[in-house]
A and B are shown apart, each in its own frame.
Chain A
Amino acid sequence: MIKRLAFLAPILVLGILAIWFTLGLQRDPSRIPSVLINQPVPEFSLAALKGFDRGFSNKDLMGKVSLVNIFGSWCYACLAEHPFLMQLTKNKVLPVYGIDWREQDRTSGPRWLKRQGNPYLLVGDDPKSRGAIAFGVSGAPESFIVDKAGIIRYKHIGVINQANWKATLLPIVQKLRQQ
């Protein structure tokens, strides 16, 4: 009897592997788990956008739970996300910082913010991806929740909207505030 079962073992192994790999196929390979979670924000220092007083550096992210958003005027998903970020700022939910990533020229970002409104407390100009690389970004929009000590606690890939804000991001922010 046991000998008979031994012949079934390869089939069983195959079955388990088949299930595992099928599940693997459902995963989105562009969602790379961030190694920066629970790590301090890497050092970066970005210049001000044209017409803005101040740039944005990692040193600005101290003392408050905040949101860092990577965007660009070329990014359609960012356009879809923008009204919600405006709402966060308008309702004083938390400070929102922006990294304006890879603009064609120095006027595109400021013009876009003028047209769509500016939800950012500070914005850094990032033509050479230095800010984006510091955060290990692969696309836009991506957002990070940073705690009071300047430690990255959560990475959100894609558009933030009412639904995922309520379900995922806001609870994290509230928990971090209590610490």
Chain B
Amino acid sequence: MLRGLLVTFVLASIIWVPPSFAVDPNEILEDSVLEGRARQISKGLRCIVCQNQSIDDSDAQLARDLRVLVRERLVAGDSDQGVVDYIQSRYGDYVLLNPPVKGTTAVLWLGPVGFALIGIFGITVYFRRQKKLQLAGPAAGTEKDRSS
């Protein structure tokens, strides 16, 4: 029991890494509402240099400059969507961690549904056939049993 706890603790301490904050204290806006919006926007924007991190998580300099830009535009009175549009117009959909639903991304969004439908169709056909065989099958089988 004690050993189990100890092992759990050791493993947990290896896996659990304290969150590090990329956002520099001097970037943070005094207005907490604006800062909250900035954090929310930053979480949805991809860091172009590190690619699998948001600019909110990234320590890259370009990510830092983008965070500052996001805050400056918010202070200047841009809406959240306005800020995102501004950056998207320069870096493309790629900068959005959540890809938008539109013509070119239809396969991405609808593909899984399509495959699921194909699967359901396949399973349905399979079981229907199975049922038909069962209805016809046992009758033939019993006759065989009798003859043996």
Contacts and interface: CB of A to CB of B under 8 A. Distances in A.
Contacts of B92: 32-35, 136
A133 B49 contact: no
Counting contact residues on chain B (CB < 8 A from A), the size range is 10 to 19
Contacts of B94: 32-33
A42 B65 contact: no
Given A35-B91, A36-B90, A133 B51 contact: no
Interface string B64-82: 0110110000000000000
A82 interface: no
A139 B49 contact: yes
A35 B68 contact: no
B48 A129 contact: no
DSSP majority for the A interface?
loop
Contact of B66 (A33, A36, A129): A129
Interface in A126-164: 128-130, 132-136, 138-139
B51 A35 contact: no
A128 B72 CA distance: 12
Contacts of B66: 129, 133
Contacts of A34: 92
A30 interface: yes
A34 B89 CA distance: 10
B89 A133 contact: no
B62 A134 contact: no
Given A30-B51, A138-B48, A42 B89 contact: yes
Given A129-B65, A129-B66, A132-B62, A35 B49 contact: no
Contacts of A132: 62, 65
A70 to B, nearest CB: 12
Contacts of A102: 61, 65
Contact of A128 (B48, B65, B87): B65
Contacts of B62: 129, 132, 138
Given A30-B51, A139-B49, A35 B65 contact: no
8 contacts: A32-B94, A35-B89, A35-B92, A42-B89, A128-B69, A133-B66, A136-B91, A138-B49
Interface of A: 29-30, 32-36, 42, 102, 128-130, 132-136, 138-139
Given A130-B69, A136-B90, A139-B49, 12 more contacts: A32-B48, A32-B91, A32-B92, A33-B94, A35-B88, A35-B90, A102-B61, A130-B65, A132-B65, A133-B69, A133-B90, A138-B49
